[in-house]
Structure 1
Amino acid sequence: MPYRWTDTTTTERQLELWPHRSLPRRGFAAFILATFTLITIPLYPLLGTFVLWGLLPFLLMAVGALWWALERSYRDGEILEVLRLSPQDISLTRTKRNTAPQEWQANSYWVRPELHQTGGPVPNYVTLKGNGRTVEIGAFLSEDERRALYGELASALAQARADGPPAG
């Protein structure tokens, strides 16, 4: 799963979430190379003709556009959400490329996870409600991963409440 729980101390836990990458960087390079190789096959009979120079720029532009689109997808997917949970408080920080981090904090005793099976931007939309705000978490995960995340969040919050009394 594209998220990981870690215990930072005996009472504090941290959850890191990131988008899944179905095409790793190594596969990206292999795909571009294979595309370039396959796209040049029809050019071999044209070697030494003026037609080659007429077609070559368009084929290179097609490979370049494919590279640019995949690279853009990688950049847009550089999202990291970090949830820190202790018996006293909970904080969520969402960091996205070229934007200021978004932060939310609340008393963990009063925070409630919610699973919106319909009505959200995606099915099984997971939110955290507390401190007068509702924030999304893991919207980029798959439907099954969001369902599993909801269960784990509910368990982790229940454990945090059991570990300590409400503060303030």
Structure 2
Amino acid sequence: MPYQWLDQDGTRLLHARPHRSLPRTGFVWFIGITAGLLSLPLIALLGSVLMWALLPFMLAAIAAVWWAIERSYRSGTSFEVLRLTRDRIGLTRHDPGQPDRHWQANPYWIRAEIRPGPVERYLVLTGDHKTGREIELGAFLTPEERSALQTELNRELARLRD
């Protein structure tokens, strides 16, 4: 699971992060194989002017693939930390290039719910009657992971109320 529960000095912590299916070594292999396959047609054109006409386009294609995967890696550095104690629940979301966003509430009133939203099985924390805010949790998780997290989080919140 791309999220895990930890205990730290009486605080229950949830760390959630996006799943990375292509590790850095796989990225190197992918770029190398892509460059090799794109250069195969150039072998037949060695020594001709046509090779120099095609080369910039092939290099641009490799550069575009490199840029797209690197951008995906940067967006994959997002993470969320949920701190859960008997008297306070706090959520911090870190996105690259943006300031961290923080939210706090009394956990007695909070519950995790699945709602219709911009993604399938949209998971929100709701129930803070003072502000009426709903906070999205785990937007980068799969629908199945959001459902599992909802069950686990409601179990943790119920345990605190006892």
Range class of TM-score, shorter chain: over 0.9
Measure, in 2, the Cα distance between the counterparts of 1:140 and 1:17.
9
2:67 aligned partner: 68
2:117 aligned partner: 120
| AA matched with 1:125 | Y
**Stretch deviating more after TM superposition (89-98 or 19-28):** 19-28
5+ residue gaps, structure 1 = 163-168
Deviation by residue 1:74-102 (Cα, 9 ceiling, x = unmatched): 11222110000011100000000010111
**Within 5 Å, which residues of 2 pair with 1:17-166?**
17-116=16-115, 119-129=116-126, 130=128, 131-132=130-131, 133-162=133-162
Instruction: Give the 4+ runs in structure 1 shifted more than 2 A.
Output: none
Measure, in 2, the Cα distance between the counterparts of 1:35 and 1:123.
34
| AA matched with 1:150 | Q
Measure, in 2, the Cα distance between the counterparts of 1:121 and 1:140.
12
Deviation by residue 1:28-67 (Cα, 9 ceiling, x = unmatched): 1111110000000111121111111111111001100111
Aligned-residue CA RMSD (Å): 1.0
Measure, in 2, the Cα distance between the counterparts of 1:137 and 1:152.
13
Aligned length: 159
Taking structure 2 as the reference length, what is the TM-score of the superposition? 0.94
Measure, in 2, the Cα distance between the counterparts of 1:121 and 1:160.
30
In the TM superposition, residue 8 of structure 1 has moved relative to its aligned partner by 0.6
In the TM superposition, residue 138 of structure 1 has moved relative to its aligned partner by 0.4
5+ residue gaps, structure 2 = none
Residue 34 of structure 2 is aligned to residue 7 of structure 1 = no
Q: Secondary structure at the match of 2:31?
A: helix
Q: Secondary structure at the match of 1:78?
A: coil
Taking structure 1 as the reference length, what is the TM-score of the superposition? 0.91
**Stretch deviating more after TM superposition (49-58 or 83-92):** 49-58
| AA matched with 1:63 | I
Identity of aligned residues (%): 50
Measure, in 2, the Cα distance between the counterparts of 1:42 and 1:2.
41
